[in-house]
Amino acid sequence: MIQALIFKEWLKLRWALCGLLLVGLGILGFMAQSLMADFASGPAVPIWQNLVERQVMFFSGFKSFGILTGLVTALVQWLPDTPNRGLRLQFHLPFPQMQGMAVMVGCGAGLIFVVSLSMLGLLLLLTRYYFPPPVVEAVGITMLPWLMAGLPVYAMSSAALVEPHPLRKICYAVIGWQVAALYLEGCGYAGFKEVLFSYLLLGLGLLFAPFLPGKRFKGEGL
Amino acid sequence: MGERIWISISRWVLCLVGVLVLAVVLPRMFDMAFKKSSPSSFVLYSPVTEGFLFSGNSPEGEFRYRDEAGNLYDRKTYMSLTPLFWYRDLFAWKIMPETLGGVPITREAVEAGAQFFRYRPGDMQREGIALWPLLESASEFSDLRLPETLFWNKGRLIFENGLTRRRDATFTEAVETSLSDAGFVFPVAAVWGNPTTKKPHDDGWFLLDAEGRLFHLKQEKGLPICRNTGLAPPSGIRHVAVTEDARKEFFGYLITGDGGFHVLMQENYALVRLDLEDFDPDTMGLLFMADLLGRTLVYGDGEGFYALRLDREYRPLHRYTEARFPAFSQGTAVARAILFPFTLKTRASYTKAADFALVPSGLLSLVGILFAFLSFVLIRKKMEKPLCPGIREGVVLLLGGLYGLLVLCVEDGWFRGEKGQSRS
């Protein structure tokens, strides 16, 4: 049953995965082209120094990528199942309901991890080609919270989509938006270095958020 | 995992995250509505009155020039009483005194004696990209230029060439030999310097070795030169800042582990500890102003500021302390503490870095928590539900006070006004 559920999620999410990877690769391509032009025009040290002194972020195109990933994943995953009550049918399968929900959330979160980590890996490879290791490290630490913002956006968008009551829908959407804003606050390079783990825990913890709305969706007035 | 556990965890997560979000949003909205900007004065020492003069907004929003006793001055009088700062105007008006404190005053002498630097608590916390240039300190050119290599600290200093974008093994080795020859014990514990080329000259970098000793690294005529400063304060070195001013009196300042603020002199690396009463480098900023006749230091935090006048030998001449006007009136501060039992701090206090810390509001918040509990009971009574809160409700109310009440209102569906529904 778990495999069947995963396959069902794969059918829903595969195009989102391809689309998000394409968008990410497009941003990376644009970035690579821009870096190539900069480095072709002269020695690297003034560019490195400019980056260090002025905190220029050549990868700022990725700032909203995490949010986009979380939002697209939630919409693609839950929107087809909620208006026509497909999710309620799933809850009546001979399989523990919340375990089924966990498989769905796990698939959504898995997609976010796959997309985010591949973009992070490619960005770090590109950065290492042009910059020394301290820049690579700083770019990685700066980029991580931006990508992690996808987790609260995904979790709270899912909760908002699944939740049947309009007021709670609005509250969950506002909470997701506010939590995601914390991950994107302008902090310069490596500003999240000391608190990265706390924010990761917050994002992972939030993945439990859609379960209670899911139960309410089934119509068990909680 | 049982179904009830999934639901229970989900309910806890939604409640706690709701409380955390409210602990960010509500205090920010409250502060935007009620927080008054605390006016800060610019402080100068007057060699004429031998006291401090202040310029800045009063709490009523009026710009004032005043002295320590509260006497008010017009702008021109204020400027004439602080001639070493406003010397351009005084020379233009031809009212600059010929001597001050027995020292002849010329425009060149005033300009040559002036130096300013600022310290902020955030300066001690490293952030950003740790990649620096080792500039040529003995350049034959008038301006400083970026070298071909930048370096970083990985226990040893590693140089990477910007032309080849490869590690410069030769220069890395040369620096390491230079450090070893000076008696440096690896690994490099800290690196301090001023990486910009926009400065009158270059004083290189200060390095802390594994034994807590301070070394001075420069590049002269293309070669790395390292000297042992002989400095190893028993309390340790927390921070060194290189200020590089044309006066060349000192390299910069140094903060020791016991909070001492020292000037690191160019001559023999002598340390001069400044007599700053109640100075806390973790919470207080500092402004250093040197002039022809002495040094003025102004330091403080959100609660008050201290002004200290030193002579040219760094001996205290005059002190002054003043409390700042609080950002909140007493009533507003009490209301804030009652309403918000804690705030979630998402920004570090003195840097641009992110934070994630709960800042409690103190004992007054117990009043707000009690109010939240009473409101909870009254709402439950009206809805004909059990009055005693469950574990989750109790924890959320106890931790969150007003935040918890709002979250429970939404999460438990009180807005729907259902009667007699049992607690889950």
Q: Which residues of chain A make contact with B353, given a CB cutoff of 8 A? A: 187-188, 191-194
Nearest 10 degrees: CA dihedral of B96, B101, B106, B107? -70
Contact criterion met (CB below 8 Å) for B242 and B203: yes
DSSP B161-186: ETTTTEE-HHHHHHHHHHHHHTT--S
Contact criterion met (CB below 8 Å) for B419 and B383: yes
A134 and B352 within 8 Å at the Cβ level: the answer is no
Averaged pLDDT, B300-315: 94
A79 part of a folded domain: yes
Q: What is the pLDDT of residue B354?
A: 92
Name which of A98, A134, A206 is nearest B7 (Cβ-Cβ): A98
Give percent of chain B above pLDDT 70: 97
Residue type, B42: F
Q: Which two tokens stand for residue B318?
A: 């005059």
Rounded to whole angstroms, how far apart are CA atoms B163 and B168?
Answer: 10
A38 part of a folded domain: yes
A133 and B152 within 8 Å at the Cβ level: the answer is yes
Cβ neighbors of B234 (< 8 A, separation 6 or more) are none
A210 part of a folded domain: yes
Q: Which residues of chain A make contact with B416, given a CB cutoff of 8 A? A: 165
Rounded to whole angstroms, how far apart are CA atoms B88 and B128?
Answer: 39
Give pLDDT tens digits for A124-145. 999 999 999 999 999 999 999 9
Residues 231-250 of B with CB under 8 A from A: none
Rounded to whole angstroms, how far apart are CA atoms B150 and A44?
Answer: 10
Averaged pLDDT, B281-297: 96
Please tell me whether residue B307 adopts helix, strand or coil conformation. Answer: strand
> Tokens 């899912």, residue?
A158
Q: Which residues of chain B make contact with A221, given a CB cutoff of 8 A? A: 421
Please tell me whether residue A45 adopts helix, strand or coil conformation. Answer: helix
Kindly identify which residue of chain B lies nearest to residue A174, measuring between CA atoms. Answer: B21
B3 and A46 within 8 Å at the Cβ level: the answer is no
Distance, in angstroms, between B143 CA and closest chain A CA?
15
Number of domains in chain A: 1
A149 part of a folded domain: yes
pLDDT band at A220 (very low <50, low <70, confident <90, very high): low
A95 part of a folded domain: yes
Q: Which two tokens stand for residue A126?
A: 């590109």
Q: What is the pLDDT of residue B52?
A: 97
Contact criterion met (CB below 8 Å) for B68 and B320: yes
Q: What is the pLDDT of residue B423?
A: 45
Neighbours of B95 (CB within 10 A): 12
Kindly identify which residue of chain A lies nearest to residue B355, measuring between CA atoms. Answer: A195
Residues 103-122 of A with CB under 8 A from B: none
Nearest 10 degrees: CA dihedral of A121, A123, A125, A127? -150
Give pLDDT tens digits for B66-97. 999 999 999 999 999 999 999 999 999 999 99
Rounded to whole angstroms, how far apart are CA atoms A47 and A42?
Answer: 9
Q: Which two tokens stand for residue B123?
A: 């300066």
pLDDT band at B124 (very low <50, low <70, confident <90, very high): confident
- Number of Cβ pairs closer than 8 Å across A and B? 149
A185 and B354 within 8 Å at the Cβ level: the answer is yes
Kindly identify which residue of chain A lies nearest to residue B410, measuring between CA atoms. Answer: A168
Name which of A186, A189, A209 is nearest B128 (Cβ-Cβ): A189
Give pLDDT tens digits for A140-197. 999 999 999 999 999 999 999 999 889 999 999 999 999 999 999 878 888 999 999 9
pTM of the model: 0.88
Give pLDDT tens digits for B334-370. 999 999 999 999 998 888 889 999 999 999 999 999 9
Residues 115-154 of B with CB under 8 A from A: 127-133, 146-150, 152
Q: Which residues of chain B make contact with A101, given a CB cutoff of 8 A? A: 6
Name which of B129, B165, B196 is nearest A51 (Cβ-Cβ): B129
Q: What is the pLDDT of residue B422?
A: 42
A222 part of a folded domain: no
Rounded to whole angstroms, how far apart are CA atoms B262 and B194?
Answer: 18
Name which of B10, B129, B163 is nearest A52 (Cβ-Cβ): B129
> In this structure, what are the phi and psi dihedrals at residue B217, rounded to the nearest 5 degrees?
-115, 130
Residue type, B28: R
Contact criterion met (CB below 8 Å) for A9 and A110: no
Q: What is the pLDDT of residue B290?
A: 96
pLDDT of B421 above 50: no
Q: What is the pLDDT of residue B417?
A: 57
Closest CA to B27 of B326, B372, B303, B338: B338
Contact criterion met (CB below 8 Å) for B214 and B232: yes
The verdict on A164 touching B (C-beta cutoff 8 Å) is no
The verdict on A132 touching B (C-beta cutoff 8 Å) is yes
Q: Which two tokens stand for residue A42?
A: 């002269």
Q: Which residues of chain B make contact with A168, given a CB cutoff of 8 A? A: 410-411
Cβ neighbors of A196 (< 8 A, separation 6 or more) are A141, A144, A145
> In this structure, what are the phi and psi dihedrals at residue B262, rounded to the nearest 5 degrees?
-120, 150
Rounded to whole angstroms, how far apart are CA atoms A16 and A27?
Answer: 16
> Tokens 């992690």, residue?
A148
Distance, in angstroms, between B383 CA and closest chain A CA?
16
Give pLDDT tens digits for A42-96. 888 888 888 888 888 999 999 999 999 999 999 999 988 776 666 666 666 677 7
Whole-Å CA distances, B395 to A209, B5, B389, B391, B408:
18, 18, 9, 6, 11
DSSP B328-364: S-HHHHHHHHHH-SEEEEEE-SSSS-EEEEEEE--TT
Residues 290-319 of B with CB under 8 A from A: none
A189 and B129 within 8 Å at the Cβ level: the answer is yes
Select from B7, B132, B424 the residue whose CB has the most chain A CBs within 10 Å, as the one to mutate to test that interface. Answer: B7
pLDDT of B379 above 80: yes
Averaged pLDDT, B193-207: 93
Q: Which residues pair with B157 in a beta bridge?
A: B153
Distance, in angstroms, between B400 CA and closest chain A CA?
16
> Tokens 């034959």, residue?
B140
Rounded to whole angstroms, how far apart are CA atoms A120 and A196?
Answer: 15
Rounded to whole angstroms, how far apart are CA atoms B209 and B85?
Answer: 40
Q: Which residues of chain A make contact with B355, given a CB cutoff of 8 A? A: 194-195
Q: What is the pLDDT of residue B263?
A: 96
pLDDT of B382 above 80: yes
Closest CA to A60 of A139, A118, A151: A139
The verdict on A192 touching B (C-beta cutoff 8 Å) is yes
B353 and A194 within 8 Å at the Cβ level: the answer is yes
Higher pLDDT, B129 or B177: B177
Name which of B10, B129, B346 is nearest A212 (Cβ-Cβ): B10
Averaged pLDDT, B161-172: 90
The verdict on A165 touching B (C-beta cutoff 8 Å) is yes
Rounded to whole angstroms, how far apart are CA atoms B216 and A117?
Answer: 42
pLDDT mean across residues, chain B? 91
ipTM of this model?
0.90
Peptide bond into A94 cis (omega under 30): no
Q: Which two tokens stand for residue B83?
A: 């001639």
Please tell me whether residue B120 adopts helix, strand or coil conformation. Answer: coil
Q: What is the pLDDT of residue B415?
A: 63
Q: Which residues of chain A make contact with B3, given a CB cutoff of 8 A? A: 96-99
pLDDT band at B424 (very low <50, low <70, confident <90, very high): very low
A208 and B415 within 8 Å at the Cβ level: the answer is no
Q: Lowest mean pLDDT: which of A79-93, B35-49, B105-119, B384-398?
A: A79-93
> Which H or E element spans position A173?
helix A166-184
The verdict on A175 touching B (C-beta cutoff 8 Å) is yes
Distance, first Cα to last Cα, chain B: 18
Q: Which residues of chain B make contact with A167, given a CB cutoff of 8 A? A: 410, 415
Q: Tell me which DSSP letter residue B423 carries.
A: P
